[in-house]
Amino acid sequence: MARALGGIFNIAHGLTNATVLSHIMEFNAVACHEKYWKIAQVMGENEVKDLTILESAYKAVEVVHRLTKDIGIPTLSQLGIKEEDIDLLADEAMKSGDRNFNPRITEKEDFIKLFYKAL
């Protein structure tokens, strides 16, 4: 998703990664919940010890989403992306070889939903 955003709209890759990170994490949580459980612990979510690993994974998603808001990472709409851009972005994301390394299989509809969330 970050490559599609940067390639089409010439937005810095680090910024695009930060903008979509929590949304991607939410999508992937069911596939790599043990890693996210560790992230939640490292990021100071102390109550995770009383939760299931999957519940803890979603705490990691929440804390990353909160962090991006707290430090002022813009949404896609704040970067000038519009709803009408999403289909093109999803098509471009489908071309990425990175899909092979994602913890979950991603299809165009997944990218469309994720881009909408990141708006």
Q: What is the pLDDT of residue 5?
A: 97
Domain borders along the chain are 2-118
| DSSP letter for each residue of 4-37 | HHHHHH---HHHHHHHHHHHHHHHHTTTSHHHHH
- Give the confidence band of 99 by pLDDT, cuts at 50, 70, 90: confident
* Cα 81 to Cα 86: distance, rounded to the nearest angstrom: 8
CATH number of 2-118: 1.20.1090.10
pLDDT band at 41 (very low <50, low <70, confident <90, very high): confident
pLDDT at 58: 94
Q: Does the global pTM surpass 0.85? A: yes
Q: How far is CA 99 from the centre of its chain?
A: 13
% of the chain with per-residue pLDDT over 90: 80
What is the spatial distance between Cα 47 and Cα 62, in angstroms, rounded to a whole number?
A: 13
pLDDT tier for residue 44 given thresholds of 50, 70 and 90: confident
- Judge contact between 116 and 86, C-beta under 8 A: yes
